Structures are given as structure tokens and as C-alpha cells.
Amino acid sequence: MLWDGRHVGRIENVVLSHSVILVGIPVAMLSVGFQFIERALIEAAQTMGAGDTEAFRMVVRPAMIPYILCALVYVFVLSLNEYLIAYMVAGFSVQTLPIRIFSSLKSGYEPTMCVGAVIFMALGFAAFSLLAAIGDLAKLMGRHRPLEA
């Protein structure tokens, strides 16, 4: 029997559903990053005697680090604040942070919820500000395309 009800309310399903829903963000960010890697740099590394593994380690990986970090931050902030996915998959049986906040708001107002909301906003603002300060945000978002050879 494929569906016997034993999978309802399990944390593994919440993690899997977040992964499936939010997988497009890292894929899009990494595809933008791969567009900006100049083929001439890889060819220069191979001309100097580097194999495929060394060219990847010395050229591609350092060029992709800002895009990987940007994708991780986006997915982390979105997943941390995503209430609907956790509720639809697990209901109130798995106590993720957004579900815990929502269930405590149903029982009454607590000042700690305001603090939690401010912390969520501050965390998101700090993460995206850090990305903007460290990397070229317009380039990270795919604003400019590389010159075609």
C-alpha cells in the first residue's frame, strides 16, 4: 500500500517539501554564475597544464562561491519564514519555528512574537545586506550578461 498515513507529520517530509519547492532558486543562481565564467580562463588553465579537476578547483569553484553563498542565503531566509509548506505537509504535529509562532498567536498575544518578527526581519536584512556588500548584487542577480566570444 503506497499511502498508509505513516508519513503524515514527520520532519523528513517537511525538509523534503522545502527542498522540492525551493530548489529553483539555487539552480537559477548557479546558472547565472556559470554564464559569467569566462571560457578563456578555463582554457588558459588547461594550456598551463591543469587537468579538468585542477581547472575546476582553481578557476570554476572560486568564481562560483559568491553564487553558492547567495543561493544558500536566499533559500535559508525563505525556508525559515515559510509557514505554508510546513503547515500543508505536517500540520501542527511538527513544531517548526513558523508553526510555533502561528500556534502561539492563535492562543493570544505575546510580546515575544514581536521580538521574533523583528529578529526574522533583521536576519533577512542583514543577510541580504551582507550579500550586497560582499558581491556585486546586480551581477549575482543576473543583470548583466557576459560578452559573447
What would the grid cell of residue 65 be? 562561491
Is 77 inside any structural domain?
yes
Is 55 inside any structural domain?
yes
Q: What's the Rg (C-alpha) of the chain? A: 21
pLDDT at residue 1, as a whole number: 42
Q: How far apart are CA 6 and CA 9, in angstroms?
A: 8
What would the grid cell of residue 89 be? 505537509
Total domain count, the chain:
1
- pLDDT band for 107, please (50, 70, 90 cuts): confident
Mean per-residue pLDDT over the chain, rounded: 77
Q: Would you say 46 and 57 are in contact if contact means Cβ atoms under 8 Å apart?
A: no
Q: How far apart are CA 38 and CA 147, in angstroms?
A: 9
Is 107 inside any structural domain?
yes
pLDDT at residue 144, as a whole number: 62
Q: Would you say 33 and 64 are in contact if contact means Cβ atoms under 8 Å apart?
A: yes
Task: State what percent of residues in the chain have pLDDT above 90.
Answer: 0
Q: Which residues contact 127 (CB under 8 A, 6 or more apart)?
A: 73, 76, 77
pLDDT digits (tens, 9 = 90+) for 50-77: 888 998 898 889 888 888 888 888 888 8
- Range of the structural domain that residue 90 is part of: 11-140
Is 149 inside any structural domain?
no
pTM for the model: 0.67
Average pLDDT over residues 8-37: 82
Average pLDDT over residues 107-127: 79
Average pLDDT over residues 93-120: 73
| Cα torsion 147, 132, 58, 31: sign | negative
pLDDT digits (tens, 9 = 90+) for 31-44: 888 888 888 888 88
Is 49 inside any structural domain?
yes
Side chain identity, residue 31: S
